[in-house]
C-alpha cells in the first residue's frame, strides 16, 4: 500500500507548529465572524428597544462598544497569526513536500519437496513494475535506432530488479549450510519478499513477481512463472496530506490579503459605516440621522447633524402648535370714510348714505337750463376703505377662508341676481383672469360682496342695477386663499378696492 516515507521531515516541530497555528487561525476567524454578527444584532435591537431608563440604554451602548473593541483585538491577533504562518511556511525547514512509496510484502512459497533430494527452498524473487496514469494509460513506447545496424529497438516501460537473496547459515557441528528463516518482524534487515516503489498522486503501479529456486542458484537458477499483474493506485485520502502544506500557505496568503484590505477600508471608516447598518421591513438602512450632516449651523456657526437639526425643528413646531392651541383671535373690521373710522361689531349692520349728486359733474352749455343738470358719465366713489385684522396682541392667528363661490350658495352668489364689482385707482374693472368674467369674486375670498337684500324664486330685491362691461379691465384678482397651485400662480393683490 502507498505510505508516506519522509514523515521525519514533514512531522518536524516547525511543520507541526504551522499546522497548530493554522487551526488557531481558523478558530480566530470564526470568533471574529461571530462577534461581527453579534454587533449587527445588538445594533438592530437598540433601534427598536424601549429602554426603561437612560442607564439601561447606556449599558446597551457600552456592551456594543465592548464588542467592537473585542472584534478589533481579535482581528489584530488574526492578522499576526496569519503573518506567522506565511513566514514559517517559507522556511526551508517547514517547506517540505511529502513523499510516498508503494510498500508491502508477499508470501514466500513453501519449499518444493521431491523424492531423493532435500526440500528445494525459494531464495530470491524477480520483480517487474511499470507506471500508468489514474485512468489506466501508460507512457507511449519509445523506439531507437541501433548504431551500425538497420534494426530498431523498443524501450520497455517495465522495470526489473531482483530482491535481496536469503542468507545462508553454517552449522559447524555438522559442517552443513542451511537457508536462514526470514524475520519479517525485524525492521533492521530488508526481507526478500518486500517491495518499495515510489508513487505520486494520480498515479498507479502495475507489478508482477516470480520466484527463484535454490537449484542452480545463482548462475542458472530455476524460475517460476510470472504472477498475475497487480495494480495499486495512489489513495485519494493521501491527497490531503500531499497538499496540506501548500493549502495552508495558500489559505494564509488569501487571509493576509483580506486582512490588509479590511484594515485599509477600516481606516477609511467602513467598519463604522457598516456597524450602523440595519434591515427594517426588508429595507437596508445604513445611517442614523445623528451621523448625517444637515448643512445647517447653529447661532454660533457650529455645523449641526441631521438629528440635532430635526430636533430643533420639532421643538419649534411644538412651540408653534402650543401657541396656536392657546391663541384666541379677535377679529376687528374697520371702515374708513374720508379718514373717519367706523368699527363694525360682530353680527352687526352699518348703513352709509351716499348722496350721488355730491360726486357728479355739472353739465353747462348754451341752451342748457341751470340747476341739477349733470354730465352723463360713469362715476366711481372712492371714499371708503375696508380694514380687517386680528387685534389680539398675543395671538399669531391669521385669516383663512373656506367659502366656495358656486351656484347654490344662496348667501354669496346667484347667477340671476345683480353682481357687485371692483375697480382699481385707474377706474379699471377687476375681472377674473382665469375666465375673463366681470364678476370678481372667487372661491376662498376673505370678503364677499352682495348686491341684493333678498331673493326668491320669483322676485329679487336689488340694491342697484348691473353696470355692465363698459370699463377697461386689468385682469387682476382679489385677495383670496387658493387651494390649487394653478390658482396661486394667477392670484395678484389689487391696488385698491
Biggest CA–CA distance in the chain, Å, is 193
Query: Is residue 234 assigned to a domain?
Result: no
Rounded mean pLDDT, 469-490: 44
| Predicted pLDDT of residue 231 | 92
| Predicted pLDDT of residue 178 | 79
Shared domain for 146 and 215, answered yes or no, is yes
Query: Is residue 233 assigned to a domain?
Result: no
Query: What is the spatial distance between Cα 476 and Cα 473, in angstroms, rounded to a whole number?
Result: 8
Shared domain for 394 and 405, answered yes or no, is no
| Predicted pLDDT of residue 240 | 61
Query: Is residue 216 assigned to a domain?
Result: yes
Query: Is residue 280 assigned to a domain?
Result: no
Query: What is the spatial distance between Cα 95 and Cα 245, in angstroms, rounded to a whole number?
Result: 7
| Predicted pLDDT of residue 434 | 54
Shared domain for 392 and 406, answered yes or no, is no
| Predicted pLDDT of residue 463 | 61
pLDDT at 323 over 80: no
DSSP letter for each residue of 370-390? SSS-B---------EEEEEEE
CB crowding 12-39: b at 16 or more within 10 Å, else e: eeebeebbebbeebeebbebbeebbeeb
Shared domain for 259 and 215, answered yes or no, is no
pLDDT at 488 over 50: no
| Predicted pLDDT of residue 409 | 55
| Predicted pLDDT of residue 401 | 75
Query: Is residue 292 assigned to a domain?
Result: yes
* pLDDT: which is higher, 276 or 219: 219
Rounded mean pLDDT, 262-269: 73
Query: Is residue 282 assigned to a domain?
Result: no
Angle at 45 between CA 39 and CA 47, to 5 degrees: 110
Closest CA to 166 of 187, 192, 190: 192
153 membership: H or E segment, kind and range: strand 152-155
* pLDDT: which is higher, 399 or 168: 168
Query: What is the spatial distance between Cα 365 and Cα 309, in angstroms, rounded to a whole number?
Result: 78
Confidence band (pLDDT; 50, 70, 90) for 27?
Answer: confident
pLDDT at 288 over 90: no
Shared domain for 390 and 409, answered yes or no, is no
pLDDT at 294 over 80: yes
pLDDT in tens, 79-137: 888 888 887 777 666 666 677 888 888 888 888 877 767 788 888 899 999 999 888 88
Shared domain for 125 and 215, answered yes or no, is yes
Does the pTM exceed 0.85? no
Rounded mean pLDDT, 173-183: 77
Query: What is the spatial distance between Cα 495 and Cα 249, in angstroms, rounded to a whole number?
Result: 89
Shared domain for 392 and 404, answered yes or no, is no
| Predicted pLDDT of residue 257 | 81
Rounded mean pLDDT, 480-493: 40
Share of the chain above pLDDT 70, in %: 71
pLDDT in tens, 93-104: 666 667 788 888
Count CB atoms within 10 A of the CB of residue 475. Answer: 14
| Predicted pLDDT of residue 406 | 59
The total number of structural domains in the chain stands at: 5
Contact predicate 382/416, CB 8 Å: no
The residue out of 375, 398, 421 marking a domain boundary is 398
Query: What size, in residues, is the chain?
Result: 497
Shared domain for 151 and 165, answered yes or no, is yes
Query: What is the spatial distance between Cα 253 and Cα 436, in angstroms, rounded to a whole number?
Result: 83
Shared domain for 219 and 192, answered yes or no, is yes
pLDDT at 336 over 90: yes
Alpha carbon 376 to chain centroid, angstroms = 83
Query: What is the spatial distance between Cα 421 and Cα 465, in angstroms, rounded to a whole number?
Result: 12
Rounded mean pLDDT, 231-246: 71
Contact predicate 197/231, CB 8 Å: no
Instruction: Please state whether beta strands 340-344 and 331-337 pair in parallel, antiparallel, or not at all (unpaired).
Output: antiparallel
Shared domain for 73 and 18, answered yes or no, is yes
The mean predicted confidence, pLDDT, of the chain is 76
Shared domain for 304 and 337, answered yes or no, is no
Query: Is residue 155 assigned to a domain?
Result: yes
| Predicted pLDDT of residue 427 | 66
Query: Is residue 238 assigned to a domain?
Result: no
Confidence band (pLDDT; 50, 70, 90) for 493?
Answer: very low
* Enclosing domain of residue 174: 107-228
Rounded mean pLDDT, 38-45: 78
Confidence band (pLDDT; 50, 70, 90) for 420?
Answer: low
Rounded mean pLDDT, 351-368: 87
Rounded mean pLDDT, 395-416: 63
DSSP letter for each residue of 430-465? P--TTT--S----TTBS-----EEEE-SS-EEESS-
Shared domain for 87 and 131, answered yes or no, is no
pLDDT in tens, 449-473: 666 666 666 666 666 555 444 444 4
Rounded mean pLDDT, 45-53: 77
Amino acid at each position: 500500500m502507498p505510505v508516506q516515507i519522509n514523515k521525519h521531515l514533514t512531522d518536524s516541530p516547525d511543520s507541526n507548529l504551522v499546522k497548530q497555528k493554522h487551526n488557531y487561525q481558523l478558530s480566530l476567524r470564526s470568533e471574529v465572524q461571530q462577534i461581527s454578527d453579534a454587533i449587527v444584532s445588538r445594533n438592530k435591537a437598540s433601534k427598536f428597544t424601549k429602554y426603561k431608563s437612560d442607564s439601561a440604554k447606556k449599558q446597551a451602548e457600552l456592551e456594543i462598544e465592548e464588542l467592537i473593541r473585542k472584534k478589533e483585538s481579535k482581528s489584530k491577533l488574526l492578522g499576526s497569526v496569519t503573518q506567522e504562518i506565511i513566514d514559517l511556511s517559507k522556511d526551508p525547514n517547514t517547506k517540505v513536500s511529502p513523499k510516498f512509496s508503494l510498500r508491502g510484502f508477499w508470501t514466500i512459497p513453501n519449499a518444493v519437496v521431491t523424492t531423493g533430494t532435500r526440500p528445494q527452498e525459494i531464495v530470491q524473487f524477480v520483480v517487474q513494475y511499470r507506471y500508468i496514469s489514474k485512468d489506466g494509460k501508460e507512457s507511449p513506447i519509445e523506439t531507437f535506432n541501433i548504431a551500425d545496424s538497420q534494426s530498431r529497438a523498443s524501450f520497455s516501460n517495465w522495470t526489473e530488479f531482483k530482491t535481496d537473496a536469503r542468507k545462508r547459515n553454517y552449522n559447524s557441528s555438522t559442517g552443513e549450510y542451511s537457508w536462514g528463516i526470514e524475520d519479517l518482524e525485524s525492521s533492521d534487515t530488508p526481507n526478500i519478499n518486500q517491495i518499495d516503489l515510489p508513487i505520486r498522486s494520480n498515479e498507479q503501479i502495475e507489478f508482477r513477481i516470480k520466484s527463484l529456486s535454490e537449484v542452480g542458484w545463482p548462475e542458472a537458477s530455476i524460475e517460476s512463472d510470472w504472477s498475475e499483474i497487480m495494480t495499486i493506485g495512489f489513495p485519494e485520502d493521501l491527497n490531503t496530506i500531499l497538499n496540506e502544506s501548500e493549502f495552508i500557505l495558500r489559505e494564509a496568503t488569501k487571509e493576509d490579503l483580506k486582512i490588509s484590505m479590511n484594515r485599509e477600508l477600516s481606516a477609511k471608516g467602513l467598519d463604522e459605516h457598516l456597524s450602523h447598518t440595519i434591515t427594517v421591513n426588508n429595507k437596508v438602512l445604513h445611517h442614523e440621522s445623528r451621523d448625517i450632516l444637515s448643512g445647517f449651523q447653529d447661532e454660533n456657526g457650529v455645523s449641526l447633524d441631521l438629528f440635532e437639526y430635526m430636533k430643533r425643528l420639532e421643538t419649534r413646531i411644538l412651540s408653534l402648535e402650543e401657541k396656536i392651541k392657546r391663541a384666541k383671535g379677535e377679529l376687528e373690521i374697520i371702515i374708513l370714510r374720508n379718514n373717519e373710522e367706523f368699527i363694525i361689531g360682530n353680527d352687526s349692520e352699518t348703513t352709509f348714505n351716499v348722496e350721488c349728486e355730491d360726486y357728479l359733474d355739472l353739465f353747462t352749455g348754451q341752451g342748457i337750463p341751470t340747476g341739477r343738470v349733470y354730465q352723463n358719465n360713469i362715476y366711481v366713489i372712492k371714499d371708503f376703505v375696508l380694514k380687517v385684522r386680528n387685534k389680539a396682541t398675543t395671538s399669531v392667528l391669521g385669516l383663512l377662508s373656506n367659502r366656495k363661490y358656486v351656484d347654490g350658495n344662496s348667501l354669496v352668489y346667484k347667477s340671476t341676481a345683480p353682481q357687485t364689482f371692483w375697480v382699481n385707482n385707474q377706474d379699471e374693472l377687476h375681472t377674473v383672469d382665469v375666465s375673463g368674467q366681470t364678476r370678481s369674486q372667487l372661491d376662498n375670498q376673505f370678503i364677499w360682496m352682495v348686491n341684493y337684500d333678498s331673493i326668491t324664486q320669483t322676485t329679487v330685491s336689488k340694491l342697484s342695477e348691473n353696470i355692465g362691461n363698459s370699463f377697461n379691465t386689468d385682469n387682476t384678482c382679489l385677495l383670496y386663499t387658493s387651494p390649487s397651485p394653478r390658482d396661486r400662480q394667477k392670484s395678484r393683490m389689487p391696488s385698491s378696492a
